[in-house]
Structure 1
């Protein structure tokens, strides 16, 4: 049996095993202003290898650009909260948001609506923002 560890500040009722994601009924779990403050202060880390890959693809690995994206989130962009694993025996209780904005799309040579999906958790110490997912919807 593998012991899972909770690395997020929110730690109530983690899943008993690593089978799939488990939704968390109340939410959001973290105050958006606090999340944005942590991101703007540079306290932002990618937490999964998949997230690391998509941040590199979308933003050339620039976490400041991701922090700027998080800075544009509004409470109305909130989708849900759920437990996520990083595939290395750790759980984080995450908030998920979807943000739609207009951006220049070079391949189309015009401005277009783009929707980003981001999922994150505040680390156990409260000093680090763990970016679990960041991709286009």
Structure 2
């Protein structure tokens, strides 16, 4: 049996080895205002998975401050669900998922365009970092 390493502040009932993503009932797991406070400082944001790092490069030119800006405008009604996620290196985090729709200006045309962003994150066990698991349009 492989030992599960939980790196999130929330650590109740982690998935068993081989279970993959498991939904967590009764979320959100983290107080949104606390996450938003942490995310104001980009040094407290960690793109925790390889896919997330690629998406941050693609959608935000590697700018974690822009990711923090997205988190700052989330509302409790943007919450989708919570689930356990693995980072590809054997560590797990209990994450809250949010979706937000924003009107932005398209750089190529200067016209308004509606963008739907999906964010999935956890607070680290130390309470000092926001672990971004997913961040894409």
Assess same fold via TM > 0.5: yes
Q: How many residues are aligned here? A: 136
Compute the RMSD of aligned alpha carbons. Answer: 1.2
Give, in angstroms, the shift of residue 15 of structure 1.
0.3
State whether residues 118 and 133 of structure 1, in contact with CA within 8 Å, keep that contact through their aligned partners in structure 2: yes
For residues 55-103 of structure 1, the C-alpha deviation after alignment (integer angstroms, 9 at most, x for no partner) is 0111110001110111010000000000000111111000000000101
User: Is the 1:18–1:85 contact (alpha carbons within 8 Å) kept by the matching residues of 2?
Assistant: no
Q: Give the alignment's TM-score, normalised by structure 2.
A: 0.95
**What is the distance in 2 between the residues matched to 1:37 and 1:18?**
34
> Normalization by structure 1: what TM-score?
0.95
Does 2:69 match 1:65? no
Which structure 1 segments of 5+ residues have no match? none
Following TM superposition, where does structure 1 have runs of at least 4 consecutive aligned residues deviating by more than 4 angstroms?
none
Structure 2: gaps (5+ residues): none
CA deviation vs aligned residue, 1:2-45 (integer Å, no higher than 9, x gap):
32200000000000014321000010000000000000023111
